[in-house]
Amino acid sequence: MSSIDALLNNNKNPDHAMLEQALSRFASHPLFDQPDSFYCDSPYLRPVRPQDLREFNFDSVLALAELKQPSHLMAQRLLLNIYEQDLIFLPQQKKLHLEEFNAFYDEGLRGAGAAIRPMLERHVFGWLDSEVSVSGNWDVDTFKGYADEVLDRVARTPSALLDCIGNSRNPANAARFFLIQCAGDFLSEASAMARNVLGNFGPAQSELFKILIDEYGYGVAQKKHSVIFESLLAECGLNPAVHYYWQFYTATSLALINYFHYVSANHRHFFRYLGALFYTEASLALVTRAQAQAMRIAFGDTVDTLYFDEHAHIDVHHGKMAFEQLIRPVVLRYGNQVLPDIIRGFEEFRLLQDVADAELFAHVAWHDELSQWRPGPPPALPAGARSHPFHECRDDLSVTHVHGATELFAVDKGTLRLVCSPFTELNLSAGQHVVIPQGLLHGSVITSDHCSYTVTSLE
Amino acid sequence: MKITTLPLDSFNSLAVGARRYFLLQNGDKPVIAPSECPHRGGPLNLGRRKACGAKLVCPWHDNAYPTQSIERGALPAIRRCAEISIVTGNEDIRVWTELLPINQGQGACEDAA
Ligand code: FES
Ligand SMILES: [Fe+2]
Ligand SMILES: [Fe+2]
Residue A247 sits in a domain whose CATH number is: 1.20.910.10
Whether residues A204 and A231 share a domain: the answer is: yes
When CB atoms are compared, the residue of B28, B76, B77 closest to A129 is B28
User: What is the Cα–Cα distance from B73 to B89, expressed in whole angstroms?
Assistant: 15
CA of A354: which chain B residue's CA is closest? B80
More confident residue, A354 or B52: A354
A377 lies in a domain? no
pLDDT at A182: 98
Residue A2 has pLDDT above 80, yes or no: no
Q: Is residue A60 part of a domain?
A: yes
Cβ distance of B79 and A146 shorter than 8 Å: no
| pLDDT average, residue stretch A78-106 | 97
Asked if residue A452 belongs to a domain, the reply is yes
- Please state the rounded mean pLDDT for residues A38-44: 96
Distance (angstroms) between ligand 2 centre and the Cα of A324 equals 19
- Note whether A243 and A43 are within 8 A (CB): yes
Same domain, residue pair A206 and A68: no
Q: Is B81 on the interface with A (CB under 8 A)?
A: yes
Phi-psi region of A136 (alpha: psi -120 to 50; beta: other; left: phi over 0): left
Whether residue B3 and residue A145 make contact (CB cut-off 8 A), yes or no, is yes
In this structure, the number of other CB atoms found within 10 A of the CB of residue A306 comes to 14
Q: Residue A63's closest CA among A125, A117, A107, A20?
A: A125
Q: Where are the beta strands (DSSP E) in A293-446?
A: 387-393, 397-401, 407-413, 415-421, 424-429, 433-436, 442-446
Q: Does B19 touch chain A (CB under 8 A)?
A: no
Give the pLDDT confidence of A267-319 residue by residue, as tens digits.
Answer: 999 999 999 999 999 999 999 999 999 999 999 999 999 999 999 999 999 99
Assigned domain for A376 exists: no
Query: Does residue A126 register a pLDDT over 50?
Result: yes
Of A370, A403, A435, the residue at which a domain comes to its end is A370
Sign of CA dihedral A429, A433, A434, A440: positive
The pLDDT of residue A5 is above 70: no
The predicted-structure confidence for A382-418, as pLDDT tens digits, reads as follows 989 999 999 999 999 999 999 999 999 999 999 999 9
Q: Are residues A193 and A107 in the same domain?
A: no
pLDDT of residue A1: 41
pLDDT in the model for residue A4? 54
| Residue A347 sits at the chain B interface (C-beta within 8 Å) | yes
Residues 6+ apart with CB under 8 A from A240: A92, A183, A187, A229, A230, A231, A233, A234
What string of H, E and C letters represents the secondary structure of A44-94? CCCCCCHHHHHHCCCCCCCCHHHCCCHHHHHHHHHHHHHHHCCCCCCCCCC
Please identify, by atom number, the ligand 1 atom nearest to the C-alpha of residue B47: 2
* Chain-chain contact of B28 with A133 (C-beta, under 8 angstroms): yes
Instruction: Give the residue ranges of chain B where pLDDT is below 70.
Output: 104-113
Going by pLDDT thresholds of 50, 70 and 90, the confidence category of residue A13 is low
Ligand 1 atom closest to B42 (CA): 1
Q: How many helices (DSSP H) and strands (DSSP E) are in chain B?
A: 1, 10
Query: Does residue A378 form part of some domain?
Result: no
Domain match, A192 and A225 both: yes
Tell me how far the alpha carbon of residue A325 is from its chain's centroid: 29
Assign B31 to helix, strand or coil.
strand
Which residues 6+ apart lie within 8 Å of A257 measured at CB?
A80, A184, A185, A192
- Per the structure, the count of domains in chain A is 3
Q: How many angstroms does the Cα of residue A314 sit away from the middle of ligand 3?
A: 6
Residue of A nearest to B29 (CA): A133
- Using the beta-carbon criterion (under 8 Å), do A131 and B80 form an inter-chain contact? yes
**In this complex, which of A132, A137, A150 lies closest to B76 when CB atoms are compared?**
A137
Percentage of chain A lying above the pLDDT 70 cut: 97
In this structure, are A345 and A427 located in the same domain?
no
pLDDT of residue B112: 44
Q: In chain B, what residues touch A147 (CB-CB under 8 Å)?
A: none
Mean pLDDT of chain A, nearest integer: 95
Residue to probe by mutation, ligand 1, list B20, B35, B36, B39, most atoms within 8 Å of CB: B39
Residues B91, B88: Cα–Cα separation, whole Å: 7
Q: Among the three residues A57, A92, A125, which one is the final residue of a domain in this structure?
A: A125
For a substitution probing ligand 1, which of B60, B65, B69, B102 has the most ligand atoms within 8 Å of its CB? B60
Q: Is the pLDDT of residue A101 over 90?
A: yes
Give B74→chain A minimum CA distance, Å.
4
Q: What is the pLDDT of residue B98?
A: 77
- For residue A382, being part of any structural domain is answered with no
Domains delineated in chain B: 2-96 (2.102.10.10)
Q: Could you give the count of Cα atoms lying within 13 Å of A458 in the half-sphere of its Cβ? A: 14
Residue A155: band (very low, low, confident or very high) from pLDDT cuts 50, 70, 90:
very high
Decide if A379 is inside a domain. no
SS3 of A298, please?
Answer: helix
CATH number of the domain residue A413 falls in: 2.60.120.10
Judge whether B74 is closer than 8 Å to chain A, CB to CB: yes
Chain B contact for A138 (CB, 8 A cutoff): yes
Greater confidence, A178 or B9?
A178
Indicate whether A381 belongs to any domain. Answer: no
Residues A75 and A146 in one domain: no
Assess whether A60 and A110 both reside in one domain: yes
Using the Cβ of B29 and the Cβ atoms of chain A, whether some distance falls under 8 Å is answered with yes
Task: Please check whether residues A306 and A188 belong to one and the same domain.
Answer: yes
Query: What is the Å distance from ligand 2's center to A236 Cα?
Result: 19
Both A325 and A427 in one domain: the answer is: no
**Torsion A65-A421-A45-A236 (CA) sign:** positive
Q: Do residues A289 and A324 both lie within one domain?
A: yes
Q: How far apart are CA A443 and CA A360, in angstroms?
A: 17
- Please say if the pLDDT value at position A157 is more than 80: yes
Q: Does A127 touch chain B (CB under 8 A)?
A: no
Selecting from A136, A145, A351 the residue whose C-beta is nearest the C-beta of B75 gives A136
Bridge partners (DSSP) of residue B43 are B36
Dihedral (Cα; A122, A128, A131, A133), 10-degree rounding = -120
- Smallest CA–CA distance from A64 into chain B, residue: B81
| Whether ipTM exceeds 0.90 | no
Q: What is the pLDDT of residue B113?
A: 35
**The pLDDT value given to residue B26:** 87
Residue span of the structural domain in which A418 resides: 387-457
Domain match, A160 and A276 both: yes
d(CA A174, CA A298): 8
Longest pairwise C-alpha distance within chain A: 69
Tell me: do A47 and A147 sit in the same domain.
no
DSSP H helices in A105-170: 107-125, 127-131, 140-156, 160-166
Q: Does A132 touch chain B (CB under 8 A)?
A: yes
Q: Which ligand 1 atom lies nearest to the CA of residue B62?
A: 3
Whole-angstrom CA distances from A252 to A69, A154, A183, A354, A441 are 11, 20, 13, 10, 12
Distance A258 CA to ligand 2 centre (A): 17
Query: What's the rounded mean pLDDT across residues A230-245?
Result: 97
Q: Given this model, what pLDDT does residue B100 score? A: 72
Amino acid at A176: R
Last residue of a domain, one of A70, A102, A125: A125
Q: Tell if the CB–CB gap between B87 and A129 is shorter than 8 Å.
A: no
